[in-house]
């Protein structure tokens, strides 16, 4: 699998683990850190794919769609 697909899968699996508010604060905490380990950087990368699909995985989403087109604010619809 491609790195982007693995990061997305990792994010989606972890998203089921965290509650809505806890997930957002976890991402904010990670993005505020100066250094991330491999796991944390993959979580942040997956989150960025979901939130900014056109920038990080635009070739996989046509017609200017993004993951947040269906999954509002990065939460499962």
| Percent of the chain scoring above 90 in pLDDT | 4
| Segment 47-69 mean pLDDT | 85
Query: Looking at the chain, how many residues does it have?
Result: 77
Residues 6-39: tens digit of each pLDDT: 677 666 666 555 444 444 568 888 888 889 898 9
Query: Rounded CA gap, 77 and 28, in Å?
Result: 21
pLDDT computed for residue 22 by the predictor: 46
pLDDT computed for residue 21 by the predictor: 44
Cβ pair 44, 52 in contact under 8 A: no
pTM above 0.85, yes or no: no
């Amino acid at each position: 699998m491609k790195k982007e697909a693995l990061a997305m899968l990792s994010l989606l699996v972890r998203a089921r683990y965290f509650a809505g508010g806890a997930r957002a604060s976890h991402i904010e905490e990670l993005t505020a850190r100066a250094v991330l380990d491999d796991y944390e950087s993959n979580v942040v990368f997956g989150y960025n794919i979901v939130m900014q699909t056109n920038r990080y995985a635009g070739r996989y989403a046509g017609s200017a769609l993004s993951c947040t087109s269906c999954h509002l604010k990065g939460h499962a619809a």
